[in-house]
Amino acid sequence: MGRLGTFPKGTEPEGSVAAPYGTDRKNFVADFSNIGPETDLTGPGVGVMSTVPGGYGIMSGTSMATPAETGAAARLLATKPAILQMARDQNRASAMISAIAGACKLLGFGAVYEGKGIISF
C-alpha cells in the first residue's frame, strides 16, 4: 500500500497510485500489489527510502513492504516474552500468528486487498 503525500512529486511512485482507496482517502493499494483471498497483511511498499549502490534512493514494490512488515512483526514479538520462550514448534508459530493478527489495523481496502490490515501498536 501507499500513502499520498509521502513521496516526492515527479518520482516513480506517482505511477503506482491506484484504486482502491482506504477509509483514509490518502491510502491506496499500489498497482503492483499482490492481492487475493490468500493475502494476510498489507504494508508500506510505495516510495520507501532504501539503500542503493552509492547511497539512498526511493524504491517501491513488495520487496519494500515485506521487510517493513517483518520488522514491525519482530518489534511486536519482542514485547511477547511468553511467546518467544515457547518451544519452537507449531504452537509457537500459531501464537506468533495470533499475536500479529491481533495487532493489525484495517485500513478499509477490504480483505482481498489488505488481509488483516497493517501491523499497528
Q: Residues 24-77: pLDDT tens digits? A: 999 999 888 889 999 999 999 998 888 999 999 888 888 888 998 999 999 999
pLDDT at residue number 13: 75
Closest to 1 measured CA to CA, from 84, 92, 101, 113: 113
Percentage of residues in the chain with pLDDT exceeding 70?
Answer: 100
- Any idea which residue has 511498499 for its cell? 45
The domain limits of the chain are: 2-119
Q: Grid coordinates in use for 109?
A: 481496502
Q: Look at residue 8 and tell me whether its pLDDT is greater than 80.
A: no
Q: How many whole angstroms separate alpha carbon 10 and alpha carbon 21? A: 21
